[in-house]
Amino acid sequence: MTAFLFELLVPLSLGFFTFVALGDPGTVPARPQGNSAVEELMKVIDSPAGDIEPPDINRLCTTTWVMKGLRTKYCVQTGACVEEFDHYCVWLNNTIGKANHRQFVGLAIVEFFTQVTHVRLCMVTVMSLIPYQSFTQWMWGAITSYPLLTMIVVIHCVTAPWVLMLTLHQSRLVLMNLTTNEMMNMHRYEHFWTIRQIGPGHSSRIFRNPFNKGSGVANCLDFWWHRTRWQMVAQPQPLEGGCQKQCCNHSH
Ligand SMILES: *[C@@H]1O[C@H](CO)[C@@H](O)[C@H](O)[C@H]1NC(C)=O
């Protein structure tokens, strides 16, 4: 049973690995000079004023000349703007973004179980090769007779917990509808904060995730199925009641 599982998980791991390492993470193609977001910006600015809201110049990527969505980020390592940028993975030598994020999480899950089944297979093998009398005798026998196999088990036991942690971290972010990049940099992303008056002359920054689809289940479906993570949800105005009106009349 374990052997069968292992034989199933290994090609699955390799498949996900190849997909994520070699596939496109969701790159926004760079735009040539003369037909870039700069010219479009100019057109909007030059157009008769009034009806069109001016675009946010800060969203212009000055390397690839595209207008970045709120979840698009320029990746320094690969030199490209990636939609729904999560992070750059050193092991895969690729960015994790809109087009490979699901496969990346899939890889982390499958990878963990591949390692667990391999450790179990190694254990069963050594059990049948070295008759068990006492733990130290058995352990010593394994190390001296099968050093390579022992080393592989040790490497698994060191790395598998990390893979599990990564899987749990990613699952948590999926439930919250956040990316790793947003988790690290949200303090400087204005769209995650609203200003609320908490008293005369006092206001505080309140965190609210505009991409949150309402519940953990909805965010899971959004990630695995609907794939509208880039879409913002209309936020209900924070309940401030009558206080806000009163407070706002006094300026300090
Ligand atoms: C990593 O990816 C870049 C492209 O983004 C490529 O040029 C480079 O050769 C890759 N490095 C390795 C070790 O595969």
**pLDDT at 193 > cutoff 60:** yes
Identify whether 251 is part of a domain: no
- Least confident segment among 20-24, 48-52, 137-141, 203-207: 48-52
Same domain, 73 and 97: yes
Contact 197, 203 (CB under 8 A): yes
Is the domain of 206 the same as that of 222?
Answer: yes
Task: Take atom 1 of ligand 1 and give the residue whose Cα is closest.
Answer: 93
Q: What is the pLDDT of residue 199?
A: 81
For residue 48, is it within any domain? no
Q: How many angstroms is it from 63 CA to the middle of ligand 1?
A: 20
pLDDT tens, residue by residue, 25-53: 999 988 888 888 888 888 877 777 666 67
Q: Is residue 218 part of a domain?
A: yes
| Same-domain status, 177 and 234 | no
Contact between 118 and 6 under an 8 Å Cβ cutoff? The reply is yes
pLDDT per position as a tens digit, 121-154: 999 999 899 988 899 999 999 999 999 999 999 9
Pairing of strands 202-207, 193-199: antiparallel
Please give the pLDDT value at position 34: 81
Give Cα separations from 239 to 157, 211, 244 (angstroms): 50, 20, 9
Structure tokens at 152: 């592989």
State in Å: Cα 13 to ligand 1 middle: 20
93 alpha carbon – ligand 1 mean position (Å): 6
Angle between helices 2-22 and 101-129 (to 10 degrees): 150
Closest ligand 1 atom to the C-alpha of 93? 1
The residue whose CA has the least distance to atom 7 of ligand 1 is 78
Which pLDDT belongs to residue 59?
87
Number of domains in the chain: 2
Question: Is residue 73 pLDDT above 50, yes or no?
Answer: yes
Residue 43 falls inside a structural domain:
no
Cα separations in angstroms, 191 against 37, 70, 186: 22, 8, 9
Q: Strand 87-89 vs strand 80-82: parallel, antiparallel, or unpaired?
A: unpaired
Same-domain check for residues 131 and 230: no
Ligand 1 lining (C-beta closer than 6 Å):
78, 93
> Does residue 101 contact residue 86 with C-beta atoms inside 8 Å?
yes
Is 212 a domain residue? yes
The Cα 59–Cα 67 span in angstroms is 6
What is the per-residue DSSP string for 44-71? HHHSPSSSSPPP-GGGB-TTT--BPPTT
Please give the mean pLDDT across all residues of the chain.
88
Asked whether residue 186 carries a pLDDT value surpassing 60, the answer given is yes
- Is the domain of 161 the same as that of 112? yes
Is there a single domain that holds both residue 110 and residue 233? no
- CA-nearest residue for atom 2, ligand 1, is 93
Asked if residue 185 has pLDDT above 70, the reply is yes
Of 143, 165, 189, the residue that ends a domain is: 189
Same domain, 183 and 66: yes
Per-residue confidence (pLDDT) for residue 252, from 0 to 100: 42
- Do 122 and 184 lie in a common domain? yes
Domain-ending residue, one of 144, 163, 189: 189
- pLDDT at position 244 is 42
The dihedral through the CA atoms of 75, 78, 80, 86 has a sign that is negative
Whether residues 183 and 208 fall in one domain = no
Nearest alpha carbon, ligand 1 atom 14:
93
Q: Which residues contact 33 (CB under 8 A, 6 or more apart)?
A: 65
Q: Which of 67, 66, 85 is nearest to 75 (CA)?
A: 85
Judged against a pLDDT cut of 50, whether residue 179 lies above it is answered with yes
Q: Which atom of ligand 1 is nearest to the CA of 79?
A: 5
Mean pLDDT of 235-240: 55
- Residue 160 domain flag: yes
Q: pLDDT at position 242, please?
A: 42
pLDDT, greater one: 58 or 83: 83
- Residue-level pLDDT at 92: 95
78 within some domain: yes
Q: Are residues 149 and 198 in the same domain?
A: no
* DSSP bridge pairs for 27: 82
Are 217 and 145 found together in one domain? Answer: no
pLDDT, position 32: 84
User: Where is the domain boundary, 141, 158, 189?
Assistant: 189
Q: Which domain holds residue 213?
A: 190-245
Closest ligand 1 atom to residue 78 Cα is 5
Domain identity same for 107 and 61:
yes
Domain-located, residue 173: yes
